[in-house]
Amino acid sequence: MAFVGIDVGGTRIKLGLVKQKKMVSSSVFEVKNNHSLEANLPLIIEEIKALSFAFDASEPIEGIGMALPCLIDHKKNKILSDYVKYPDAKNIDLEAWFYQFYKVPFIIENDARAALVGEIEGIDQGTKDAVLVTFGTGIGTAVLSNGTMLRGFNQFAGNLGGHQTIDVFGDKCNCGDIGCAESLASGWALHSILESEKSYEMSSLSKVKNPQIQDLFKAAAEGDTLAKSIYNRYLKAWSYTLKNLVYAYDPEYLILGGGVMTDGENLREYFQTFIDKANWLSHFTVKVVLAQNPDWAGVIGAAILAQEKEIAH
Amino acid sequence: MAFVGIDVGGTRIKLGLVKQKKMVSSSVFEVKNNHSLEANLPLIIEEIKALSFAFDASEPIEGIGMALPCLIDHKKNKILSDYVKYPDAKNIDLEAWFYQFYKVPFIIENDARAALVGEIEGIDQGTKDAVLVTFGTGIGTAVLSNGTMLRGFNQFAGNLGGHQTIDVFGDKCNCGDIGCAESLASGWALHSILESEKSYEMSSLSKVKNPQIQDLFKAAAEGDTLAKSIYNRYLKAWSYTLKNLVYAYDPEYLILGGGVMTDGENLREYFQTFIDKANWLSHFTVKVVLAQNPDWAGVIGAAILAQEKEIAH
């Protein structure tokens, strides 16, 4: 019983063969045909064949799960939002496409939800209530509540935590709403935040081409005044974003992932202390933990979701 | 099969006898022994007896549900937060107390959750995803997701929407956190918001003793400059509070209740338009509706929850 997990990023596509919820072989390829998911699908099939052959050619594949950074209707296997990197993704019948090669259950799922399923395997398989937050280019969120993925009426429950408004008197987010968490503190927002500052030219960050959050952290650690000020604002915005998510969902585990949290023990501790001090939480327990397997949790989770679909068949 | 619902407010206690999810008789009494729930419990028993006698003395009571404006552990029938109006509430074993008189299932529940259960009866019994928001002295919230009440690990999921931070650079809320929705726009916050304004003395509201939100609405409608400005800020804060709740839970119905929403068709329409325009929601459906039975939904819901417990027994 082997299941395939596929995590479709904008620049890299990761694949894994998963048996009994553990990954037994994996591969990554750089996307060669940019801006077309369809053009990359044959490459995915080739990778699945190679993975399968490398592991055990006689082991049949029982299901395929695919994770993408979009709003997804998991039941209908349908992409609900645009995927900037692959404008064609929304219009491809992925289930039918994969069915040509593998007549097995196929699911697509939002990447944060898939990663949450994968992470829970490594953190506490018995938990019924966990929230995953990934800090990186954007802020991704997913929620497991009472043992099931929170999906909601239109299938986007738990996914839009990065676009909660935390600064109602602030500026427009690039989504069109006001003061979203992502617009205050994310990778994509950093450049315009820097440029809006008068002292930008005096900052060491003005010499960095296309500055990333890691550059902000580094410059702040080195004592750059502007970097320190923006870093503190990022910490504040992230802290209240997390507080709001805990107030909304009351998880047992708050799992921190994304590029920002690599080696993030200091940040984890900071957020744990902040959450512990939040007024309503002083009598309650929320365990703030780092993602255990940020690179592969999406692949593993997608495969596990495919397995669950197979069982439900 | 009659069930008793009790809605314990700070100044009034409401009771109802509920058969087949409909209220068949009801009563309200003004709290006589302020600051002690225990002192009011014998009055509640007297009211139940009177209700039962008035309806049909031979009809046995099969369960009792009690709603209170506190964080509540529904499974353990335990009050988790302090109830300002009844400081003794937290330490009373209510289940044991009622068991002396009625040896039937007894549940306590947060009042917004009970009201949500009661409201759904009048709006759409088939819905699996609904959020209730009550605007009044505070902002109460409760969430039904995938057909079950959202409770979370510590039992407070869905309850703390009024204390989500929507103004991360704002002032301290009286809860100790920063920029909570309630601190920006609620009944309890109004007086200090008014007093912090330089033009307060020039406003007609300075002549109102202990001004309520209804006074704010009235003064704004009459053209008072300060009142109009604060009214607009209230609308803005409530709009983004609702947006965040929809982003978090993705309900089919967003139910608006509380004192503010009495005759609130204009407000409902305003919020429906706002939600429809929120960026991520343009392809989705969220029905913004007024609470149908704001006075009695808590009583009916508490009785229904008692019935569900009776069935589970």
Q: How does pLDDT run along chain B (313 residues), one tens digit per residue?
A: 899 999 999 889 999 999 999 999 999 999 877 789 999 999 999 999 999 988 888 889 999 999 999 999 988 999 998 888 899 999 999 999 999 999 999 999 999 999 999 999 999 999 999 999 999 999 999 999 999 999 999 999 999 999 999 999 999 999 999 999 999 999 999 999 999 999 999 999 999 999 999 999 999 999 999 999 999 999 999 999 999 999 999 999 999 999 888 879 999 999 999 999 998 888 888 999 999 999 999 999 999 999 998 777 6
Q: Which of B166, B240, B252 sits opposite A153 (nearest CB)?
A: B252
C-alpha to C-alpha distance for B301 and B74, rounded to whole angstroms: 13
Which regions in chain A score pLDDT beneath 70? 313
User: How close, in Å, is residue A215 to chain B by CA atoms?
Assistant: 24
Kindly identify which residue of chain B lies nearest to residue A158, measuring between CA atoms: B248
C-alpha to C-alpha distance for B304 and B297, rounded to whole angstroms: 10
Which structural domain range is residue A97 located in? 2-117+295-312
Chosen for mutation from B82, B151, B168 (greatest number of chain A CBs closer than 10 Å) is B168
Pairing, β A253-257 against β A130-135 = parallel
Q: What is the pLDDT of residue A238?
A: 98
B60 and B171 in a single domain? The answer is no
B106 and B131 in a single domain? The answer is no
Chosen for mutation from B120, B129, B153, B177 (greatest number of chain A CBs closer than 10 Å) is B153
Kindly identify which residue of chain B lies nearest to residue A240, measuring between CA atoms: B165
- Which chain A residues are closer than 8 Å to B145 by Cβ? 145, 150, 152, 157
Give chain A's domain count.
Answer: 2
Q: What is the pLDDT of residue A313?
A: 62
User: How close, in Å, is residue B48 to chain A by CA atoms?
Assistant: 34
Specify the CATH number for the domain of residue B87: 3.30.420.40
- Which chain B residues are closer than 8 Å to A161 by Cβ? 247-248
User: How close, in Å, is residue A2 to chain B by CA atoms?
Assistant: 30
CB contact under 8 A, A153 and B285: yes
CB contact under 8 A, B168 and A240: yes
A172 and A275 in a single domain? The answer is yes
B43 and B179 in a single domain? The answer is no
Q: What is the pLDDT of residue B259?
A: 86
3-state secondary structure of A30: strand
Q: What is the pLDDT of residue B10?
A: 85
Kindly identify which residue of chain A lies nearest to residue B143, measuring between CA atoms: A248
Kindly identify which residue of chain A lies nearest to residue B235, measuring between CA atoms: A168
CB contact under 8 A, B154 and A250: yes
DSSP string, chain B: -EEEEEEE-SSEEEEEEEETTEEEEEEEEE-SSTT-HHHHHHHHHHHHHHHHHHHHTTSPEEEEEEEESS-EETTTTEE-S--TT-TTGGG--HHHHHHTT--S-EEEEEHHHHHHHHHHHHH-TT-S-EEEEEESSSEEEEEEETTEE---SSS-TTT-GGGSBSBTTSPBPTTSSBSBHHHHSSHHHHHHHHHT-GGGGGSGGGGSSS--HHHHHHHHHTT-HHHHHHHHHHHHHHHHHHHHHHHHH--SEEEEESGGGTT-HHHHHHHHHHHHHSGGGTTS--EEEE-S-TTTHHHHHHHHHHHHHHHH-
Strand order in the sheet with B287-290: B148-149, B139-145, B130-135, B253-257, B287-290
A64 and A192 in a single domain? The answer is no
- Which chain B residues are closer than 8 Å to A152 by Cβ? 129, 145-146, 249-251
CB contact under 8 A, B163 and A247: yes
Kindly identify which residue of chain A lies nearest to residue B162, measuring between CA atoms: A247
- Which chain A residues are closer than 8 Å to B129 by Cβ? 152-153, 157
For residues B219 and B177, the answer to whether their CB atoms sit within 8 Å is no
Q: CB contacts < 8 Å between A and B, how many?
A: 154
B94 and B186 in a single domain? The answer is no
A300 and A286 in a single domain? The answer is no
B99 and B147 in a single domain? The answer is no
Q: What is the pLDDT of residue B33?
A: 72
Kindly identify which residue of chain B lies nearest to residue A170, measuring between CA atoms: B167
CB contact under 8 A, A249 and B152: yes
A69 and A187 in a single domain? The answer is no
A145 and A206 in a single domain? The answer is yes
- Which chain A residues are closer than 8 Å to B176 by Cβ? 278-279
ipTM of this model? Answer: 0.95
B137 and B112 in a single domain? The answer is no
A55 and A162 in a single domain? The answer is no
Q: What is the pLDDT of residue A35?
A: 84
